[in-house]
Structure 1
Amino acid sequence: MKTVQSFIPAMNIPRPVLVSLLGFAAAITLADEATDFPPKPPVKALSPVEEAKTFQLPKGYHLELVLSEPDILEPVCMAFDGNGRLFVAEMRSYMRDIDGSNEIVPTGRVSVHWSSKHNGVYDQHRIFADKLTLPRLLLPLADGVLIGQTDTNDIYFYRDTKGDGVADEKKLVYQGGARGGNLEHQPSGLTWGIDNWIYSAVNNYRLRWKDGQLTKQDIPGNGGQWGGTQDDDGKFWVVNAGSEKGPINYQQHFLYGQFNARHQADVGFEMVWPAMGLRDFQGGPGRSRDDNTLNHFTATCGGEIYRGDQLPAELKGNLFFGEPVGRLVRRAQIEVNDGITILHNPYPQNEFLRSTDPLFRPVDMKTAPDGTLFICDMYRGIIQEGNWTREGSYLRKVINQYGMDKVINHGRIWRLVHDTTKHVPEPKLLSAPPAQLVATLANPNGWYRDTAQKLLVLKQDQSVVPALTTMVQKEKNPLGRIHALWTLEGLGALTPDLVRTALKDASPQVRRAGIRASESLNDPALQPDVAALAKDSDPSVVIQVCLTAKLMKWKDYADFINRAAMTTPSKGVKEIATQALTNSSEFPRELSGTQKEIMNRGQATYQELCFTCHGLDGRGMSAEGMPPGTTLAPPLANARVVLGHRDGLIRALLHGVTGPVGGKTYQGQMISMATNSDEWIADVLSYIRNRFGNSVTFIEAKDVARVRKETQSRTTPWTEEEIAATAPSVLKNRPEWKLTTSENARGLEAIVDGNLKTKWSSEKPLANGMWISVELPSEETINGLRLAFGEHGGYLSRNVRVETSLDGQTWSKPVYNGTAVTNLTEIAFNPTKAKFIKITQTGGGDKRTPWNLHELDVTTPSALTH
């Protein structure tokens, strides 16, 4: 905080930053006034044969049709079971019209498809699970499929006991409870990781299958949005649309936190090169070239690390992801240099796959059992949810201009092949004997390795332990050794000696796996063996040691990591080690246990959603092509508005914000978050107000409920000016107040001088019963106080009681009785008439220090609150 002429006017929802809290690349209503929207010929759906002619690919590559309407409609993700059957999640209620009417209805389904002739032609189609609400999580196990839907964190296990392709049993295996919010910001990409944990995009937890149930473990958020994939090391990869960066947080497995490095992608990597131009994206003219083509990532999704064996070797280990607004698929080459992962677009000013069909919408990709890459094409007009197509939005005008809302009820799945691709037999892993599954762990196709490991762990057959042990020690393929190691972990048969074998392996990839696997044993006797690899010649191994040291909370791990970073010549180790030490999730010790829980929940939401525009450090996220010093959304760190009145921030989240903020138009302006719970909104706002150097009163769910009720008739976003007008006023007559105290009266006037650098002090240790009293010049209707405790914290009040009086003799029942722990504490209560106000200490402070107070203000209700 800085010195201000008047302490509270600075809180009165000032201009510069307001509003875009939690912005997520929302609908920009920047209608270019110079741009007209005359009707255009409506877009028309092409047949699959016609669409295939619109694809542009490098020489030798082709797309083959696998499935299309009417067998599938509105497909969004897919997965294969151990016999190669293809399961497809279909969101049949998604954006049926421009307003997204009646989306949350159970008309979705998961279908299953297979080949009766075992030739790769999917000619058999069944409805595996029906009456689903926008299904989005899909993971086949051994004898059934995990399915999750929209607006719930619950996951069910569906099983087909009759073998007819239709599930006849349904069991709740994870009770996560209801989930609100925009459907684009909910979990997806359910993936069985190489470490036998199940990961998903968005969620800040992972799941473990045991005894027919899923158990949860909290971990850092990953920042993903739609889809998830893993590489050969088991690192989980996600992409994000809101940040306009595509792949995100990919330097290390996000189990250890969110890591990013300087120069981690080519200059211009975020620029896209579509084959056709149609401005159906919220950035409008600002995100397009003169030919109307999209110029930058805006809707990236459905990432997949290609790990198959029937496409040219140049593609292996590359990341593929869709940009459905650009009608293209990006291929990203992955380079690891000095421990830093770097992404390249191998097609300068071009893309791996482009289409001139405006309805080509690639939303998911998967390495297939046949060694190729499958691409899920939602094939439709509108590809963004209703929050971005509201009245007044730029996007709505374009949708109407081209009649895009009329194209629904389609969907295709394509197989990427090459002139060198060969047909391979269909898998039969579900009935394969254990010995065959063990041998499959070294298969050249990553889908086979993953599936064999998953099935072995699910079966829990201990008879394979000797063969797996031998495989860890003698298998020629390093990937086979890694999968054998993790399969033993999943069987509960991993031993310290086998970990030591992996730690001494000739392959740095296996050594890294050994370090990670040691975490599951949590055996202190292994620590010296792992720590010795801090001197490994491979920077990636050294980085993994540092991450494991912090995760496992080794004694003096910070000193250990610092030494590792200081003694290595690797710049990559230094960069990641520094982040490991500074990306702390620890919160100030002053906070109570309940408040720390609030901060943990708020941080999870922030790291899932808000950071994409506001940055992990709260200083705003920039995107390539933006002018220096500009960000997608206003910064939150030390922002005066964040320190402002809680109700303004609550209004911004409940209804969104439109128009300029502080004279600037940000691409990442706020959309409504009203579908989230009161607690969700309170948690994330409390986190923002007490992170990034901020320290302000926590917001409670009851505050959100109150504002929600007051503004329930509101149907449009707020402008900055409207929100400013709703802020409570502050009494301007502070120089006329009469101040008294039970303690040292010297310097008491400092609490009303408008200078945060001056303060009053009790000059003796804080104790219960200490009080400060204010006599106002005249009777006022008041509804709150603001107490400031200095810009660096410390010596704060902890718990206070507030009473009011009209005569200074008869006091009301307490209008407030609670905590006052943050540097700036807002105390809100129902409007009451008062001439006298008494603030009394009620305990909980550090009794070795005095009661210090820097500033005090009294608020009155605003004339405009709806």
Structure 2
Amino acid sequence: MATFKKSTLTLAAVCSGAVFQSHQSHAAEPKVMEPAGSIPMLSVEDSLGTFELPPGYRLEPVLTEPQISEPVVCAFDGNGRMYVAEMRTYMQDADATGEQKPLSRVSLHEDTDGDGRMDKHSVFADGLLLPRLVLPLDDRVLIQETNTLDIFSYRDTDGDGVADEKELFFKGGPRGGNMEHQPSGLIWSMDNWLYTTYSAFRIRYNPGGAPLKEPTAANGGQWGLCQDNQGKPWFVNAGGERGPINFQQPIVYGGFNMNDQFEEGYKEVHPLVGIPDVQGGPKRFRPETQTLNHFTATCGQEIFRGDRLPEELRGDLLFSEPVGRLIRRSKVTVDDGVTKLSNAHPGSEFIRSFDPNFRVVNMVTAPDGCLYLVDMYRGIIQQGNWTKKGSYLRGVINEYGLDKNIGAGRIYRLVHEDFERGPQPKMLDESPAELVAHLEHPNGWWRDTAQKLMILRGDKSIAGALEKQALGSESVFARMHALWTLEGLGVLKAETVRKAMADEDPRVRATAVRTSEWLFKHGDDSLSSDLTKLAGDPDPQVVIQTMMTAKHLKLPEWKATVTAATTANISRGVQEIGRALAGDGGAAQKPASALTKAERASYQRGMKIYQSLCFSCHGEDGYGTVLPEEKNQRLAPPLAASPIVTGHPELAVKVLLHGLSGPVDGKEYPGEMIGMASNGDQWVADVLTYVRNSFGNGSSAISKSQVSGISKSVGKREEPWTEKELFAHSPHALDGCSEWKLSASHGKDSLVHAVDGKLDTRFTTSQSMAPGMWLQVELPETENISGMMLDAAGSKGDYPRGYKVEVSTDGKQWSKPVAEGKGTGPRTEIVFGQEVPARFVRVTQTGKNRLYWSVHQMEIWGR
């Protein structure tokens, strides 16, 4: 546990105004809070007195406990009614007791008298398991629960505010894993596809049939999702301490990031609450104030697209940092085709609170033109895998009594003194022709909802009005939405797109390029030459979109289009994204070792999992994510050349099943590896098959049966391993190889190089492989061994074409073969079926090849 700095500051003093007055302009200083064993739950009125916002802004309550409890998502239907997902079993104590019970719900709330507060309440869907996705359609609402990818449609047919009809909308199948590592943020994007975090695919409403499904790049998002005025989804990563990620271009075209997309110091945060309840431990808070120093739980993002807050806020990216009890506001700029983010309040934050229970987890632009904040209002914000007994967080929770603060929740409206709230919509009662007009609305929520409703109703009689709007509206946004609405209705014409490709605004031209994809996919390639010409457009974003569309459609001329674009346009965005597109011909990444067809399929599945989850801590290159403010510090240990990853399979399997805590190879890391057993044995096998054959690793695949066997042998373990404990209870490379006595049938003089620890030297037979060649090791004493590894990576073809392994305790009486097989690549791993006592180990060549038999490095695995 950390030693907490003492202070006389109490929450009561804050609320009384002795320390801070509400709504000052970023004038407050952070204060250390005493670990008195209890943090009070404040009334809404008292909590409002702890907030700091810029001049003119304030938060006002819309919906609070007892009407809601543990809210995580709010969404509005076409009539402005609010649906709230309530995770009522989330972390009701530090052990997550009862969390997996289906006692959560989605509630429905309505403001019937127009005073801005919800006064009519009902439970729309009850008995749910931690609902995480809510998307109102027309009179249907899509809901997805935890531990499944299935999405159901709920409908209230009798108007009592309670759903009485439930139908499967999308069959995704079961989903395991920690609840923080599952999809969230379901949005109907401007391109008429539905996106979530984690899932490397998008789905599309398909009248009369099952939703369409199309792959995307791994998005890297965790909790929350939004889109901007051009329909680009914005993802934010929490676990990897990244913040916004993959936001350069729509994720369907790839995950693009730039080295300088953040201003210097962007990931540093400035909280007011001095409580070090930080997953990363002491490295993640300032010792003098005990305040969080860096992103660690960013979530709930929203591009503000409303019309009832100051112009300065519109188009900004806002997201929450609930561990820091703050809201970050980011200015979004595009420079030379590159999107960049900066803190709109350098050295401070847009919204901060002294209330330790202020835990915003989602935000949304509302029908009234304001921004709504979903505050879980609770003590613990991390899931139980990070708060187990003995963990750093558990100690902080106990000292401050954070586990006692549960069962509340507030939804706030951000308002400004210079603006009034907008009117409540009645779109569910309007005709498609009336909905067309809403595409002109300055509030993005109105435009999105009108487009969605027109497509759901499928009335193609409005095509003429939409075409007129797409080509003649004074609103850029209306022209873009009209094009997408035509696309969604299936009535988009090539001539309309051709004219839009000549629009004076580059945003419309880029939209025209994107919507043309629908025509190409439906067999109309009449826009091929028009698309090629736009590779020479003067605006970088239009050029980038043209390159991405050509690649996405796999047009025969896509490479030529990219070459032409990067030759004609020297903007940095075109150059960098052009290189990224040209460098990826679309072929799947290949494993380092020779794998069977089934193992290659496992590898590909593991790659998708890694790119959507594991990369955030371990890095795209497998060497660990570098923390920007600490150039020599990585968030998690490297997987490349890791003895745990590439050693005996039992090591890596145990870590993935149960987690790993404490130092690794003598180094401390801010990140913590939690157990992933709940994802299932095949999931674990897939991930390990990928990481053991990537980043320069070339180890054997892991099978589901191997994982199952190791899991059963360990039993019902819950706590993570330490490195010392892991090696004490698992087979690993035996030490003391300098004391081994080696002999061989051929190449005796080079034997020392098999155990000298240098991959650039080797033992070699100096003649072609032939059956009967052997290599023998005599250990100093009898050991229980379970396998061995022969590494020929420096002479890739020199692995044994066939082998058998025999053991002996005296060098005279030899066992039957404890392992037989064929080498399939530079690294030959030989796993015995069971542990065997041995002092002598002999490997005999049973295959033949014109190449030599070589070993650059040899390991024998024991306990």
> Which TM bucket (shorter chain)?
0.7 to 0.9
Q: Which of residues 625, 630, 648 is equivalent to 1:621?
A: 625
- Counterpart of 2:606 in 1: which secondary structure? helix
Q: Which of residues 686, 690, 693 is equivalent to 1:687?
A: 690
The residue aligned with 1:273 is 270
| Aligned residue runs from structure 1 range 42-81, under 5 A | 42-81=38-77
> Would you say 1:518 and 2:519 are equivalent positions?
no
The residue aligned with 1:788 is 791
1:574 Cα deviation after fit? 1.7
- Counterpart of 1:150 in 2: which secondary structure? coil
AA aligned opposite 1:623: L
**8 A Cα contact 2:281 2:670, kept in partner:** no
- Counterpart of 1:685 in 2: which secondary structure? helix
Decide whether aligned partners of structure 1 residues 439 and 808 sit closer, same or farther in structure 2, where only a CA change above 3 A counts: farther
Greater shift, 850-859 or 688-697, is seen at 850-859
AA aligned opposite 2:684: I
| Aligned residue runs from structure 1 range 460-859, under 5 A | 460-522=458-520, 523-555=524-556, 557-558=558-559, 560-582=561-583, 586-588=588-590, 591-626=595-630, 628-639=631-642, 641-725=644-728, 726-729=730-733, 736-739=742-745, 752=754, 756-757=759-760, 758=762, 783-791=786-794, 793=796, 802=804, 815=819, 820-831=823-834, 837-838=843-844, 840=846, 853-855=853-855
1:454 Cα deviation after fit? 0.9
Distance 2:333 2:858 in 1: 58
> Would you say 1:175 and 2:142 are equivalent positions?
no
The residue aligned with 2:109 is 113
Q: TM-score w.r.t. structure 2 length?
A: 0.88
1:405 Cα deviation after fit? 0.8
**8 A Cα contact 2:76 2:136, kept in partner:** yes
**8 A Cα contact 2:299 2:361, kept in partner:** yes
- Counterpart of 2:363 in 1: which secondary structure? strand
Decide whether aligned partners of structure 1 residues 439 and 142 sit closer, same or farther in structure 2, where only a CA change above 3 A counts: same
Decide whether aligned partners of structure 1 residues 782 and 452 sit closer, same or farther in structure 2, where only a CA change above 3 A counts: same
**8 A Cα contact 1:762 1:850, kept in partner:** no
Decide whether aligned partners of structure 1 residues 782 and 509 sit closer, same or farther in structure 2, where only a CA change above 3 A counts: same
The residue aligned with 1:27 is none
1:209-240 per-position Cα deviation (integer Å, ceiling 9, x unaligned):
21363343222211111000000111110111
Distance 1:476 1:136 in 2: 38
Q: TM-score w.r.t. structure 1 length?
A: 0.87
1:306-333 per-position Cα deviation (integer Å, ceiling 9, x unaligned):
1111111111111111111111111111
The residue aligned with 2:292 is 294
C-alpha RMSD of matched pairs (Å)? 3.1
1:493 Cα deviation after fit? 1.9
**8 A Cα contact 2:625 2:636, kept in partner:** yes
Decide whether aligned partners of structure 1 residues 591 and 557 sit closer, same or farther in structure 2, where only a CA change above 3 A counts: farther
Decide whether aligned partners of structure 1 residues 585 and 298 sit closer, same or farther in structure 2, where only a CA change above 3 A counts: farther
Decide whether aligned partners of structure 1 residues 763 and 464 sit closer, same or farther in structure 2, where only a CA change above 3 A counts: farther
1:41 Cα deviation after fit? 5.6
Distance 1:435 1:822 in 2: 65
AA aligned opposite 1:142: D
1:723 Cα deviation after fit? 2.5
Decide whether aligned partners of structure 1 residues 527 and 805 sit closer, same or farther in structure 2, where only a CA change above 3 A counts: farther
**8 A Cα contact 2:80 2:367, kept in partner:** yes
Q: Which of residues 126, 129, 134 is equivalent to 1:130?
A: 126
1:167 Cα deviation after fit? 0.4
1:661-713 per-position Cα deviation (integer Å, ceiling 9, x unaligned):
22221101312222221111111122112222322211222222222122225
1:709-767 per-position Cα deviation (integer Å, ceiling 9, x unaligned):
22225443222222233234469587644448xxxx99997995766455769988x9x
> Would you say 1:282 and 2:279 are equivalent positions?
yes
1:344 Cα deviation after fit? 1.4
Give the percent of matched residue pairs that are identical in Structure 1 and Structure 2: 45
The residue aligned with 1:32 is 2
Distance 1:644 1:814 in 2: 19
The residue aligned with 1:249 is 246
1:44 Cα deviation after fit? 1.0
1:460-499 per-position Cα deviation (integer Å, ceiling 9, x unaligned):
2221222222222222212111111111221222233333
1:560 Cα deviation after fit? 4.4
Decide whether aligned partners of structure 1 residues 534 and 763 sit closer, same or farther in structure 2, where only a CA change above 3 A counts: farther
| Aligned residue runs from structure 1 range 334-373, under 5 A | 334-373=332-371
Decide whether aligned partners of structure 1 residues 205 and 322 sit closer, same or farther in structure 2, where only a CA change above 3 A counts: same
> Would you say 1:188 and 2:184 are equivalent positions?
yes
1:222-279 per-position Cα deviation (integer Å, ceiling 9, x unaligned):
1111000000111110111122231112111121222111221121111112233222
**8 A Cα contact 1:785 1:857, kept in partner:** no
Distance 1:558 1:618 in 2: 30
Does 1 or 2 have the higher relative contact order (CA < 8 Å, sep 6+)?
A: 1
Decide whether aligned partners of structure 1 residues 580 and 850 sit closer, same or farther in structure 2, where only a CA change above 3 A counts: farther
The residue aligned with 1:226 is 223
**8 A Cα contact 2:510 2:545, kept in partner:** yes
Which structure 2 residue ranges, 5 or more long, are not aligned? 7-32
Distance 2:187 2:372 in 1: 16
Q: Which of residues 321, 328, 331 is equivalent to 1:330?
A: 328
1:576 Cα deviation after fit? 2.3
**8 A Cα contact 1:808 1:836, kept in partner:** no
Greater shift, 413-422 or 225-234, is seen at 413-422
Decide whether aligned partners of structure 1 residues 784 and 553 sit closer, same or farther in structure 2, where only a CA change above 3 A counts: farther
AA aligned opposite 2:671: G
Which structure 1 residue ranges, 5 or more long, are not aligned? 1-30, 843-848
1:528 Cα deviation after fit? 3.0
The residue aligned with 1:166 is 162
1:56 Cα deviation after fit? 1.4
Distance 2:163 2:511 in 1: 37
- Counterpart of 1:171 in 2: which secondary structure? strand
**8 A Cα contact 1:751 1:854, kept in partner:** no
Decide whether aligned partners of structure 1 residues 792 and 175 sit closer, same or farther in structure 2, where only a CA change above 3 A counts: farther
Decide whether aligned partners of structure 1 residues 338 and 704 sit closer, same or farther in structure 2, where only a CA change above 3 A counts: same
1:158 Cα deviation after fit? 0.9
Distance 2:771 2:549 in 1: 49
**8 A Cα contact 2:754 2:858, kept in partner:** no
Greater shift, 70-79 or 671-680, is seen at 671-680
